[in-house]
Amino acid sequence: MLTEQTKITTMHLIERKVSNSMKIIEDGLPHTAALDGIYDDTRPNWWTSGFWPGILWNLYDQTGNEKFKKNALSASKKIANAFKENQDKFDHDVGFQFLLTAVYHYEITGDEESMKMGIEAANFLAGRYNPVGKFIKSWDREAGWVIIDCLMNLSLLFWATGVTGDPRYKHIAVLHADTFLKYGVREDGSTCHILSFDAEAGDFIEAIGGQGYSPDSSWSRGNAWAIYGFANMYRFTGDEKYLLASKKVAHQFIASLPEDYIPYWDHRAESIESEPRDSSAAAITASGLLEIAEHVHQNEKYIYQNAATKIIKSLSDNYSTWDKPEHQAILVKGTGHRPKGNFVNASLIYGDYFFVEAISKLNGYNKKIF
């Protein structure tokens, strides 16, 4: 378990690391860093663009340090301006992008323009809903494809209902979550990455492996999205089926972990011990497990808190860059897209974000963005 002093110390290490990295990154929009530790600067419409400003808003809210706010605001405006100029370049991941920028800004400061930007993004996401198939369309290249990642974007719709009083947003979120729960979560608690539907008739066609090893494998980051996403659905709705789904996937995830508690990129890849780990899946899962722990009976809390803290401790002890001041990322050994060979054994900005979020939760920070 992490002691109180360790939690505080880790948060100080994060603040120091981000402060140093921000001298170079400033208001950039990083996605990945190779072994040299130098983050790239991706385009504003890329799905990961919100995670760096999300880290900065988190630290600003906790410290009050204006240097974090300055760069968070500038990076957030880049994404908002790109969205206003060409919405066609964005897709279902506006949740990742605008929860961590416009919504975060509004929740901290009450900024009205940021609230309007968040609602505009929610309208865009709701506009991708297919009422026949009862799902939110993912990428534009396939009208009937739905990916597990989108469970996390549903928080934007619940937020929009909260600030507008219009229940249509949350209705869409519930219908989409129900569809993925029906077709995307297996009895053993594993999940698939992509569901394919007939966009015209709404009929389910097949599961597709996507970034996982195969259609019937267990892609660890996909499971992480499900753990966290369904836990959030329970928080928003109080419907027990979502908590049960989150717990089922969590149990499968925990049971599949190796000794150091950091998952391989797919729990069912062949010759698994020679396969890369995914620190980003670990960080997402840790934060999701802490969400589960808030909603279960007192006698169950230890199961999820214990697994989360073991994951976080292993990330901090074995997968961090505390001793490498020139390294801009916090975590190493993430896996982006193993089947394509993209971003393998790399630092990934979303891994960093969810690590910061999980440590913040352990230190009592209770701002709910996802």
Any catalytic annotation for residue 198? no
Q: What pairs with residue 325 in β-bridges?
A: none
Percentage of residues of the chain with pLDDT beyond 90: 98
Distance (Å, whole) CA 220 – CA 272: 12
**Residue found under tokens 């957030």:** 76
349 within 8 A of 52, measured Cβ to Cβ: yes
Q: What is the mean pLDDT of the chain?
A: 97
Percentage of residues of the chain with pLDDT beyond 70: 100
- Average pLDDT of 74-94? 98
End-to-end CA distance of the chain: 25
Give per-residue pLDDT as tens, 232-286.
999 999 999 999 999 999 999 999 999 999 999 999 999 999 999 999 999 999 9
Distance (Å, whole) CA 91 – CA 294: 31
Give per-residue pLDDT as tens, 136-183.
999 999 999 999 999 999 999 999 999 999 999 999 999 999 999 999
Catalytic residue from among 149, 266, 278, 352: 149
How would residue 2 be classed by pLDDT, with cut points 50, 70 and 90?
confident
Domain 4-362, CATH number (from 1.50.10.10, 1.10.10.10, 3.40.50.1860, 3.40.190.10): 1.50.10.10
Give per-residue pLDDT as tens, 309-355.
999 999 999 999 999 999 999 999 999 999 999 999 999 999 999 99
Q: For 1-5, 241-245, 257-261, 365-369, which range has the lowest pLDDT when averaged over its residues? A: 1-5
Q: How far is CA 61 from CA 68, 107, 194, 284, in A?
A: 9, 10, 35, 21
How would residue 186 be classed by pLDDT, with cut points 50, 70 and 90?
very high
Q: What pairs with residue 277 in β-bridges?
A: 264
pLDDT at 7 over 90: no
Three-state SS at 33? strand
Catalytic residue from among 61, 93, 266, 278: 93
Distance (Å, whole) CA 307 – CA 321: 22
Distance (Å, whole) CA 201 – CA 165: 32
Any catalytic annotation for residue 203? no
pLDDT at 1 over 90: no
Structure tokens at 88: 């066609």
Distance (Å, whole) CA 290 – CA 295: 9
Among residues 59, 9, 4, 5, the alpha carbon closest in space to that of 316 is found at: 9
Please state whether the predicted TM-score (pTM) of the whole model is above 0.85: yes
Helix (H) or strand (E) holding 176: helix 168-184
pLDDT at 195 over 90: yes
φ/ψ of residue 105, rounded to 5: -60, -45
